[in-house]
Each structure stands twice: as structure tokens, then as C-alpha cells.
Amino acid sequence: MKVKDLIMKLIYCDPEAEVKCLTYKSDNDEAEVFSLDIRTLEDYEDNVDLILDNLDVDRFNEDQVFEILRNKVLEWAKDKDLLHEGNAERQFMKFIEEAFEFRDEWILMVHEYNKCNFGEGDDDPEVVEYRGNMQLEMGDIFVTLIILCDQLNLDPVECLDRAYDKIKDRKGKTINGVFVKEEDL
């Protein structure tokens, strides 16, 4: 795992975290240790060596990041008394609402503001803002689906795995940006 990827995972797990860094300011190669707030690390101008002391490495396993966030969402939903099967129909409607909010942000970015660059690294502040809005709304979709899955006693990872198993060997053709399976051609 690249250090930047680890740092991003750390941000999602513990946004208040600080990392210990080393800098070599003198010619005798004696390092000075200092703390650097993790939110500013990517913008730090000097090269730093990270010392990842006393971290629970399993916590940052790529396969576990979804589980960590899923558990946070479910704890929040439990605190709000949402995790009941009887709420599933209303939760489904909340999912639909969030999907339309995402659509609205997407349309706003692409059509109204003519910002079609969905790629990373764009320096245009408007694109950064609109992409951030789209990420937030997509995140809301995930939140509603995680809660709905729990209400219906479904594992979202298992659902995704089953869907992938269904499509992975599909043959077909992409027409006007939409994949059409072979039997529907």
C-alpha cells in the first residue's frame, strides 16, 4: 500500500490523527521529530519520512475500511432508532430521494455550469466544489443503502459480490454509453 493511500485511510478512520515525521535540517543527518496534522500532510512542501508507531495495522487493511465506515453508519442509525424492518419501505424512499439529490448535483455541474471534467487533479475551484458535492450525495446514497440492507438483514458486500458474479462473464455491447447484454441485442 502506498503511503498516500494509507494516509487517506487514516483520514477516514481518524481525521484528528497526527503523524510523527522526520526532517533532516542539518548536515549531520540527525533527524528532528515533529508532529504533522494529517489533513495538511499532502500539502506539506518538504519531504518527510513517516513513522507509523503504535498503529493497529489491521485497522487500515483495505478490505476493512468499508466495514469500519459501515459500522459507524449502523451505530448512527441505531442511535436514531432506524434499524427496524418496519422502517424498510420508508428507508427505500429515502434512498430514492438521495439518488435524486445526487442527480441534481450532477446535472448542476455538467449542464448548468458546463463543468464536464470528472477527472481528479483539476485545479478549478468550481470543479473541486462540484465534485465534493457529488461525493457527498453519493455518500448519502451509500448510507441509505447500508441502513436498508441492515433493516432487510442483507449484507451489502455479499449483495455486491452476487451482482458481480452475475455480470462478470456477461457478453454484450455498449450502445450509446449503456451496456446491453447479448440476449437483449
pLDDT by 10s per residue, the chain, length 185: 455 556 665 656 665 565 555 554 445 555 555 555 555 555 555 554 554 444 444 444 566 778 888 999 999 999 999 999 999 999 999 999 999 999 998 888 777 666 665 555 566 777 778 788 889 999 999 999 999 999 999 999 999 999 999 999 999 999 998 999 999 99
Report pLDDT for 113.
Answer: 65
Long-range contacts of 16-22 (CB under 8 A, 24+ apart): 19/50, 19/51, 19/52, 20/50, 20/51, 20/53, 21/48, 21/49, 21/50, 21/51, 22/48, 22/49, 22/51
Report pLDDT for 88.
Answer: 96
| Model pLDDT for residues 59-68, shown as the tens digit of each residue | 445 667 788 8
| Model pLDDT for residues 70-97, shown as the tens digit of each residue | 999 999 999 999 999 999 999 999 999 9
Which top CATH class is 62-154?
mainly alpha
Domain boundaries, the chain: 3-60, 62-154
With 0.85 as the threshold, say if the pTM is over it: no
Query: Is 7:41 a contact under the CB 8 Å cutoff?
Result: yes
